């Protein structure tokens, strides 16, 4: 996670909800905690506690249902490179293809 944030930055917001005690993180705890001085994008959602739980338990399963378009992914990987070796290793393990380390 740290490698991708160093390479690209924050490309997705942390999800939170407003409570009487302040903001409560719903999703994105790790991104928010990696650097206490970093300003992170936050979507403050109008959810009660039960709705926040419903959202949290459906986010990852919905994302897992997505299928990889291997042709499109191969095309993207042919045109990009990473400077972080951890990201390169992750993509190579995920795709079975060599990625270019910049």
Domains of the chain: 1-66 (3.90.1530), 68-102 (no CATH)
Measure the CA–CA gap between 26 and 60, rounded to whole angstroms: 13
Asked if residue 20 has pLDDT above 90, the reply is yes
Residue 21 reports pLDDT greater than 80: yes
Average pLDDT score over the chain? 79
Indicate whether 16 pLDDT > 70.
yes
In this predicted model, what pLDDT tens digit does every residue of 34-67 receive, in sequence order?
A: 777 778 889 999 999 999 999 988 887 766 777 8
């Amino acid at each position: 996670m740290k490698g991708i944030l160093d390479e690209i930055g924050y490309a997705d917001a942390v999800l939170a909800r407003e409570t009487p005690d302040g903001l409560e993180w719903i999703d994105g705890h790790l991104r928010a905690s990696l650097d206490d001085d970093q300003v992170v994008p936050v979507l403050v959602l109008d959810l009660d506690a039960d709705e926040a739980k419903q959202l949290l338990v459906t986010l990852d399963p919905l994302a897992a249902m997505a299928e990889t378009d291997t042709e499109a992914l191969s095309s993207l990987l042919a045109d990009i490179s990473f400077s972080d070796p951890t990201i390169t290793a992750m993509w190579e393990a995920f795709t079975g293809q060599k990625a270019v380390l910049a």
